[in-house]
């Protein structure tokens, strides 16, 4: 059965975006791209909210074709174009896109079916609203939090939608030269 892994950049005070939705404080560099790329290559599906999917769809399908494409652009574009994409969006139901499925009318059932439909893990990149929907369903199995060394003070809290306590266990931490720290937690279902 598939596991759902949420990859999220957060501020030290737990925000995924600032008060106006800004994410200009998020630090990403080659070291972080390489670290995430090692994990990305082990999955065959990505899950997004509509807004994040539209952003990704506007860039990744042709990112490798650009004359100044970086190593990361080429590798991630190849991965993005090959994996199944699942988008949580009631407004996009019935649309047809290559290798993309739109869900959301019966999210609990659809996520349960999707998790049973494969062996490799599903990655959520960003998508705070999709993550919130999955948190309400207790469907996220692992959290990969990239904690940025900044206090934002207000905005979109990543953990605003949990239902009660969620017990986690630390799997691994990794500090990057930039000061960003990845904290990898799994669900403790004991």
Q: Where are the domains of the chain?
A: 4-178
Average pLDDT across each block of 10 residues of the chain; the chain has 190 residues. List them in order. Answer: 93 94 92 90 91 91 93 92 92 84 90 89 89 91 96 93 86 98 91
- Angle value at C-alpha 105, between 103 and 111, nearest 5 degrees: 50
Report domain 4-178's class: alpha beta
Asked if 15 and 152 touch (Cβ cutoff 8 Å), the reply is: yes
Radius of gyration (Cα) for the chain, nearest Å? 16
Closest CA to 8 of 142, 179, 186: 142
Output the CA–CA distances (angstroms, integers) from residue 118 to 107, 134, 142, in the order listed: 17, 18, 17
Q: Report the candidate in 120, 143, 125, 85 with the shortest Cα–Cα distance to residue 3.
A: 120
What is the model's pLDDT at position 166? Answer: 87
Q: What gap in Å lies between CA 66 and CA 180, rounded to an integer?
A: 29
pLDDT at 98: 87
CA distance 68 to 81: 19
Instruction: Supply the pLDDT for residue 57.
Output: 92
Distance between CA 13 and CA 33 in Å, rounded? Answer: 23
Q: Tell me what pLDDT residue 90 has.
A: 85
**According to the model, what pLDDT value does residue 4 have?**
94
Q: Do 139 and 1 form a contact (C-beta atoms < 8 A)?
A: no
Distance CA 12, CA 145 (A): 10
> Which pLDDT belongs to residue 105?
85
Residue from 51, 72, 42, 50 nearest 60 by CA:
72
């Amino acid at each position: 059965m598939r596991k759902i892994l949420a990859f999220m950049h957060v501020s030290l005070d737990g925000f995924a975006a600032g008060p106006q939705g800004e994410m200009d404080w998020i630090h990403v560099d080659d070291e972080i791209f390489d670290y995430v790329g090692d994990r990305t290559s082990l999955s065959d599906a990505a899950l997004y909210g509509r807004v994040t999917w539209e952003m990704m769809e506007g860039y990744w399908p042709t990112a490798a074709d650009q004359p100044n494409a970086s190593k990361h652009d080429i590798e991630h574009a190849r991965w993005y174009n090959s994996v199944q994409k699942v988008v949580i969006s009631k407004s996009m139901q019935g649309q047809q896109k290559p290798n993309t499925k739109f869900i959301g009318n019966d999210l609990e059932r659809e996520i349960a079916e999707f998790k049973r439909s494969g062996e490799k893990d599903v990655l959520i990149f960003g998508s705070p609203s999709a993550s919130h929907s999955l948190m309400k369903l207790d469907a996220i199995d692992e959290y990969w939090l990239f904690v940025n060394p900044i206090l934002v003070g207000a905005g979109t809290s990543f953990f605003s939608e949990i239902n009660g306590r969620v017990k986690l266990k630390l799997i691994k931490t990794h500090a990057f030269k930039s000061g960003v720290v990845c904290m990898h937690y799994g669900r403790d279902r004991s």
